[in-house]
Structure 1
Amino acid sequence: MSEILVAKNINKIYDEGNIRTQVLTGLDLTVNAGERIAIVGTSGSGKSTLLHLLGGLDVPTSGEVWLHGKCLNNMNETERGEMRNKHLGFIYQFHHLLPEFTAIENVAMPLLLRKEVPIKEARQQAVDLLERVGLGHRLEHRPGELSGGERQRVAIARALVTKPSLVLADEPTGNLDYDNAQSIFGLLAELQDTMKTALLMVTHDRSLAAMADRQMLLKNGKWENFDD
């Protein structure tokens, strides 16, 4: 299998005044094409920090993150942004949709930011994906007019519209009830399979993690054995 993302000996330390906190310690991780990985851990274990580093939203104190054979550490913020937009999709617990824009506009936004896709084509791709996530009847609705599950479906469509090789999901069902959470994860897994996209998800929910190809346990910033 081809490697999409490789993290080598990742350490993250925050210095705040006289307080020095090591959040992540010596983490290695490889994500292969089409793979579905769940990182499980309680609040404060370092899951979100790790995801930010892997997605190039922050840089490690030491260690390296490689995306498609290029080291993110050696890039400036503009270059990392271009890599994110080209290769990655992001889904968060709180959808982070733009409230003033419709579902179509929110989903089309990543394509328009590339400045390579005409507006009409970007909108059509957004419509196609929104229909695939069951929101063909809600295309012109704004986030405030959608339910929590519907907003997360829009967020999934937005993450996948650029056909990324890897989707990073931070507690993507954490803000939903059990039935909606199961539905959303099932939809995400189905789209991931059909679009041949890798998925790296952080969650505290072991029942969702069990649906992944590989489960990893993060505890106090270190990998631990995953005990069922």
Structure 2
Amino acid sequence: MSAILEAKNINKIYDEGSVRTQVLTGLDLSVHAGERIAIVGTSGSGKSTLLHLLGGLDTPSSGEVWLHGKCLNTMNETQRGDMRNQYLGFIYQFHHLLSEFTAVENVAMPLLMRPKVTPSEARDKAISLLNKVGLEHRHTHRPGELSGGERQRVAIARALVTEPSVILADEPTGNLDYDNAQSVFGLLSELQTTLKTALLMVTHDRNLAALADRQLLLRNGHWAEFDE
């Protein structure tokens, strides 16, 4: 079975004046349909940088990122944006919801970027997703009127509204207490399984990572073996 998302010999180097920092070195990764992968590592190990490269939000210094058989490196920013909107969903530790918009409007926004989707279709789909994440009573609330757990549920609905092939989640429960974190991850896993979406999750939480099909340890920009 071919991979949906693939990284081939990824290197990422940042040059700041005379200082050169190699963040990632020779990484390979394949993500298949419906798979659940956790990338574990300490702060500064390169986890978020890798996620940005895989999502086409940044480009590698060398190596290639392939999404649905197309190389993101060779595309311009508009083309990469179209690929993200079509195939990827993003969830961040700090939800990144737009404060002036309601929950429904935030969730509908990725669909409104598609020229063939009408506002009413986007709204109906957003309402359906919000209901699935248990926010039937929060459709018209803005982020400032929601709890942390509720905001992250809105973020999950927004990531899933386009029915992406892969969800890229950067510390999706890192800003929540234990009970909320368990609830939110359980919900994300349930929806991800139902929609047959792959999940690639960056986390420092080994308990959360243990719930994935596959765990990968990133240490100083390299894949490493877990300590016993």
- Fold match (TM-score > 0.5): yes
Matches of residues 32-43 of structure 1 in structure 2 within 5 Å?
32-43=32-43
State the partner residue of 1:93.
93
Question: Is 2:109 the partner of 1:139?
Answer: no
State the partner residue of 2:155.
155
Matches of residues 76-87 of structure 1 in structure 2 within 5 Å?
76-87=76-87
Letter paired with 1:188 = L
Matches of residues 44-193 of structure 1 in structure 2 within 5 Å?
44-193=44-193
Larger displacement relative to structure 2 (113-122 or 27-36): 113-122
Q: How far apart are the structure 2 equivalents of 1:35 and 1:126?
A: 25
Letter paired with 1:197 = T
After TM superposition, what 4+ stretches of structure 1 lie above 4 angstroms from structure 2? none
- Secondary structure at the counterpart of residue 4 of structure 2: strand
Q: How far apart are the structure 2 equivalents of 1:46 and 1:52?
A: 10
Q: CA RMSD in A?
A: 0.6
The Cα offsets for residues 3-46 of structure 1, whole Å up to 9 and x where unpaired, read as 10110000000000010000000000000000000000000000
**Equivalent residues, number:** 228
State the partner residue of 2:210.
210
Q: How far apart are the structure 1 equivalents of 2:182 and 2:2?
A: 29
Letter paired with 1:199 = L
Quote the offset at 1:227 in angstroms. 3.2
Q: How far apart are the structure 2 equivalents of 1:123 and 1:2?
A: 34
Letter paired with 1:11 = N
The Cα offsets for residues 175-195 of structure 1, whole Å up to 9 and x where unpaired, read as 000111111110000000000
- Secondary structure at the counterpart of residue 79 of structure 2: helix
Q: How far apart are the structure 2 equivalents of 1:114 and 1:93?
A: 26
Letter paired with 1:210 = A
Q: How far apart are the structure 1 equivalents of 2:90 and 2:169?
A: 6
State the partner residue of 1:7.
7
With normalisation by structure 1, the TM-score equals 0.99
Letter paired with 2:59 = V
Unaligned stretches of 5+ in structure 1? none
CA contact (8 A) 1:25 1:221 kept: yes
State the partner residue of 1:27.
27
Quote the offset at 1:2 in angstroms. 3.6
Unaligned stretches of 5+ in structure 2? none
CA contact (8 A) 1:215 1:226 kept: no
Quote the offset at 1:115 in angstroms. 2.0
Letter paired with 1:116 = K
Quote the offset at 1:114 in angstroms. 1.0
